[in-house]
């Protein structure tokens, strides 16, 4: 029996086989690695988004939104950074225009505190409005949800005054302070008395009448949950009046430019959130009309002409919040308080009982589907959207 002789050709064949085997093993490894689910998809920066030709380019005016702690300006479908994230745990959030549209108040949130800043609309000329940082952890303060009064003379916001009776009772109250030069937080006025250990009162919207709409958190004995209601208080220190029922758990109120409609997010204490609007007569809300349901909708903001609302909601399971537009039907002259069977929810409280039936009742315009304006971005859903003509 003769042993096979090793020839150059045979050696090359064995070598080739060995290479193919090694490649095959590596390929199997890489194939599996490439078939991992993209669970944590990287979001693009808004400046990388190609949006110029989309419906976003037709949004009128200027919007400000926050992604990754950076404040972005959106004009004609193009994003540009206005205030870059300070770094570390610090972020910019919750921008709001001054009534004349020439300045912005923005929250700078740091590791243990947050402060309000005034900027021009290009993010320059900063003025620090509050001084909430302290070296002692529990002596720091939060300031969130800034909003200017319609005449621009007062700045409203939520602030956590310390409870001398219980250091664990950290709750936000609505405060206001003058916006005149030289004014300081020492002149601030407390507007609301929050319910202890609930998170408190947030998201103030000052009204031309001098009152304030805000979100109040209370403990609901029926559901054993802390739920939210939209409240109205006529003056500082006065007991507020609930505009929505506690079981609806509504928050994030946004008043239309004409002051006659209130947009809000309602969760019912559940996971999904609906975007709703209701007629506001200055003291009570009419039945709510559900505009968007089945999404984690957040932060409604009215267009300057009141014809639509932008809001934030995730894009599929990826979880990044995108900008959406919901056209809003024009308000019916008298029948906006008349419920329609399929899209209204009539649990608002304090609604006046009509003395006469509203006639005639116009058929409400059918709702159009919300339009997704961005994709692949990752907007901060706890930050408000500022929109000015």
Assess 372 for contact with other proteins (CB under 8 A).
no
The residue (of 200 and 287) whose beta carbon lies closer to other proteins is 200
Residues 108, 269, 275, 324: is their CA dihedral positive or negative? positive
Contact 278, 290 (CB under 8 A): no
What's the CA gap between 37 and 72, in Å, rounded? 30
Instruction: Give CA–CA dist 370/194, Å, rounded.
Output: 35
3-state secondary structure 344-357: EECCCCCCCCCCCC
Residue 93 or 154 having the CB closest to other proteins: 93
Helix (H) or strand (E) run with residue 300 in it = strand 298-302
DSSP percent split of the chain into helix, strand, coil, nearest 5: 15, 40, 50
Does 62 participate in binding other proteins (rule CB under 8 A)? no
* Upstream peptide bond of 360 is cis (omega within 30 degrees of 0): yes
| Exposure of 253 in the CB half-sphere (CA atoms within 13 A) | 33
User: Does 299 sit near other proteins (CB under 8 A)?
Assistant: yes
Q: Does 26 bind other proteins (CB under 8 A)?
A: yes
Cross-sheet strand order for the sheet of 344-345: 250-255, 261-266, 273-280, 285-295, 344-345
Applying CB under 8 A, which part among 261-269, 284-292, 328-336, 346-354 lies near other proteins? 261-269
Please name the residue ranges forming H helices in the chain. Answer: 8-34
Residues 103-132 that bind other proteins (CB under 8 A): 111-114
DSSP line for 365-383: PPPPPPEE---S--B-TTS
Total number of residues binding other proteins (CB under 8 A)? 76
CB of 140 to other proteins, least distance (A): 6
The single residue listed with the structure tokens 């300057």 is 304
Binding-site member from 231, 321, 324, 387 for other proteins (CB under 8 A): 321
- The tokens for 218 are 């209370």
Q: Is 378 in the site for other proteins (CB under 8 A)?
A: yes
Return the residue of 51, 212, 242, 273 that touches other proteins, per CB under 8 A: 273
Looking at beta carbons only, is 99 or 319 nearer to other proteins?
319
CB 310 within 8 A of CB 373: yes
318 binds other proteins (CB under 8 A): yes
Q: CB 280 → other proteins: shortest distance, Å?
A: 21
* Min CB(250)–other proteins separation in Å: 11
Q: Which stretch binds other proteins (CB under 8 A): 73-81, 161-169, 184-192, 331-339?
A: 161-169
- Told to check if 197 binds other proteins by CB under 8 A, we report yes
Q: Confirm or reject binding of residue 6 to other proteins (CB under 8 A).
A: no
Binding pattern for the stretch 214-253 against other proteins, x by CB under 8 A and - elsewhere? ---x-x----xxxxx--------------------x-xx-
Smallest separation (angstroms) from other proteins to the CB of 204: 14
Q: Provide φ and ψ at 36, rounded to 5°.
A: -65, 150
Are the C-beta atoms of residues 106 and 124 closer than 8 Å to each other?
no
- Of 183, 198, 260, 347, the residue at the interface with other proteins (CB under 8 A) is 198
The smaller minimum CB distance to other proteins, of residues 22 and 389, is found at: 22
Binding mask 131-160 for other proteins (x = CB under 8 A): ------xx-x-x-x---------------x
Q: At closest approach, how far in Å is the CB of 217 from other proteins?
A: 5
33 lines the binding site for other proteins (CB under 8 A): yes
């Amino acid at each position: 029996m003769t042993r096979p002789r090793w020839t150059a050709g045979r050696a090359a064949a064995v070598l080739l086989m060995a290479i193919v085997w090694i490649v095959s093993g590596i390929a199997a490894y890489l194939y599996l690695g490439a078939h991992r689910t993209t669970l944590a998809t990287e979001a693009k920066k808004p400046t990388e988004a190609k949006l110029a030709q989309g419906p976003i380019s037709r949004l009128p005016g200027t919007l400000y939104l926050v992604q990754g702690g950076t404040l972005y300006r959106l004009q004609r479908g193009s994003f540009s950074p206005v205030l870059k994230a300070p770094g570390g745990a610090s972020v910019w959030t919750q921008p709001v225009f001054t009534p004349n549209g020439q300045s912005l108040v923005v929250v700078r949130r740091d590791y243990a505190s947050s402060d309000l800043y005034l900027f021009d609309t290009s993010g320059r000329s900063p003025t620090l409005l509050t001084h909430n940082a302290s070296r002692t952890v529990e002596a720091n303060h939060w300031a969130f949800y800034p909003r200017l009064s319609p005449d621009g003379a007062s700045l409203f916001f939520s602030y956590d005054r310390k409870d001398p009776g219980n250091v664990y009772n950290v709750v936000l109250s609505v405060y206001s302070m003058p916006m005149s030069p030289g004014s300081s937080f020492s002149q601030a006025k407390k507007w609301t008395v929050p319910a202890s250990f609930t998170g408190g009162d947030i998201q103030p919207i000052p009204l031309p009448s001098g009152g304030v709409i805000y979100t109040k958190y209370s403990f609901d004995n029926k559901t054993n949950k802390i739920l939210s209601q939209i409240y109205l208080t006529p003056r500082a220190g006065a007991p507020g009046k609930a505009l929505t029922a506690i079981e609806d758990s509504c928050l994030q109120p946004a008043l239309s430019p004409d002051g006659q409609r209130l947009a809000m997010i309602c969760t019912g204490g559940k996971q999904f959130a609906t975007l709703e609007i209701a007629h506001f007569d200055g003291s009570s809300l009419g039945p709510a009309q559900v505009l968007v349901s089945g999404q984690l909708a957040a932060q409604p903001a009215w267009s300057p002409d009141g014809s639509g609302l932008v809001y934030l909601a995730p894009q599929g399971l990826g979880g990044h919040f995108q900008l959406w537009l919901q056209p809003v039907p024009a308000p019916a002259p008298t029948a906006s308080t008349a419920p329609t069977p399929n899209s209204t929810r009539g649990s608002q409280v304090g609604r006046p009982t009509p003395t006469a039936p509203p006639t005639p009742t116009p058929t409400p315009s059918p709702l159009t589907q919300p339009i997704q304006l961005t994709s692949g971005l990752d907007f901060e859903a706890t930050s408000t959207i500022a929109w000015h003509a």
